[in-house]
Amino acid sequence: TDIMQAKTFEDIPLYDSPERTRAFLKIEDGCQNFCSYCIIPYARGPVKSRQPEHVRREAEKLVARGFKEIVLTGIHLGAYGRDLPGSITLADACREVLSVPGLKRLRLGSLESIELSPELFALIRADERFCAHLHLPLQAGSDKVLKDMNRHYDTAEFARLIKHVEQEVPGVAISTDIIVGFPGETEEDFQQGLDFVEKMNFARMHVFPYSRRTGTPAAARKDQVEEAVKKERVHRMQALADRKAEEFHKSFIGREMRVLFETEKDGITDGLTDNYIRVYTDDTVDCGEIYTVKIDKLWRDGVWAHCVR
């Protein structure tokens, strides 16, 4: 069938992590945003959501198989439920998963900041299993580039939304994506991006050089940025990303956090806090279990800690 005509979600289970701690559960496919660099709306068609009862059933299977954390994902996750009858939203899917006995943690995949609802914030605050970590792609810190990308916000609106999120979910970690070297991006546009990111409190940033996707409006543009320039800008943005992550990690030194430990190597076990900080310890802990730790210092790509109980 033509993908643009495909109306229903295909149930394909998705697993991760050999230690059986974290599983990705895809609950939505398709997108109607038509960002100018992205082929997905053409390739995957409109939004298709998994029925809430199917979401719960799959979550039950994952928990029964020993997974402790479920990450809900989708191509356009915030649009979940738009194609289903009865005004179903992402909050409903979250409630289905949180109702599964034995689940230790729920995390959300990538979302658009404009799609966060008061209902979702209330759920994150009310249930300690719901991770205070949101991945909200900025993509560019220049209004001109955002407009060229056909993103549906400007930097002022994005900053306002993030401030709102930080008020609604105290201690939230916000990670983001940035595309560097989009067609037509000048040195001045890029500098604006650096300046904007500097003002934001991102916990983690994924920095990508723009890459052409045949068939997209951006790929047809004549003002492509040279590879060498892209590479150099990625390097500068990544240096800023590393510094922001370190600042974020530093702010938790001396604090107690809950960590779901995942992997052990050479006597050192590591895992993630609910707000996505990588924690290492040489204390004896079981993978797949949550421990309260006290954070001692920065270490590797995260922090070093010891168990307190």
- pLDDT for 42: 86
- As given in the structure block, the two tokens for residue 201 are 């409190």
Q: Answer yes or no: are the C-beta atoms of 217 and 184 closer than 8 Å.
A: no
Task: Give the model's confidence band at 5: pLDDT under 50 very low, under 70 low, under 90 confident, else very high.
Answer: very low
Task: Give the model's confidence band at 115: pLDDT under 50 very low, under 70 low, under 90 confident, else very high.
Answer: confident
Q: Answer yes or no: are the C-beta atoms of 42 and 30 closer than 8 Å.
A: no
Measured between alpha carbons, how far is 302 from 51 in angstroms, rounded to an integer? 37
Q: Which helix (H) or strand (E) covers residue 204, if one does?
A: strand 204-209
Measured between alpha carbons, how far is 309 from 306 in angstroms, rounded to an integer? 9
Region at 81 (left for phi over 0; alpha for psi -120 to 50; beta for the rest): left
At 12-53, the pLDDT tens digits run: 444 444 467 899 999 999 998 889 999 888 888 889 999 999
Once rounded to an integer, what is the mean pLDDT over residues 240-248?
A: 96
Task: Give the model's confidence band at 6: pLDDT under 50 very low, under 70 low, under 90 confident, else very high.
Answer: very low
- pLDDT for 17: 46
Q: List phi, psi (to 5°) of 167.
A: -75, -40
Check pLDDT > 60 for residue 250.
yes
Once rounded to an integer, what is the mean pLDDT over residues 269-275?
A: 94
Task: With CA atoms as reference, report the closest residue to 38 among 195, 150, 122.
Answer: 150
- pLDDT for 44: 87
Instruction: Give the position of tokens 């100018």.
Output: 36
Query: pTM to 2 decimals?
Result: 0.90
Once rounded to an integer, what is the mean pLDDT over residues 186-200?
A: 98
- pLDDT for 19: 60
- pLDDT for 113: 80
Task: Kindly give, in sequence order, each residue whose CB lies less than 8 Å from that of residue 81, ignoring residues fewer than 6 positions away.
Answer: 49, 87, 88, 89, 90, 92, 93
Once rounded to an integer, what is the mean pLDDT over residues 265-289?
A: 95
Task: Kindly give, in sequence order, each residue whose CB lies less than 8 Å from that of residue 174, ignoring residues fewer than 6 positions away.
Answer: 133, 134, 135, 136, 162, 165, 166, 200, 201, 202, 203
Once rounded to an integer, what is the mean pLDDT over residues 274-293?
A: 95
Check pLDDT > 90 for residue 10.
no
At 82-107, the pLDDT tens digits run: 999 999 999 999 999 999 999 999 99
Task: Kindly give, in sequence order, each residue whose CB lies less than 8 Å from that of residue 162, ignoring residues fewer than 6 positions away.
Answer: 113, 136, 174, 200, 201
3-class SS letters over 97-119: HHCCCCCCEEEECECCHHHCCHH
Q: Answer yes or no: are the C-beta atoms of 176 and 148 closer than 8 Å.
A: no
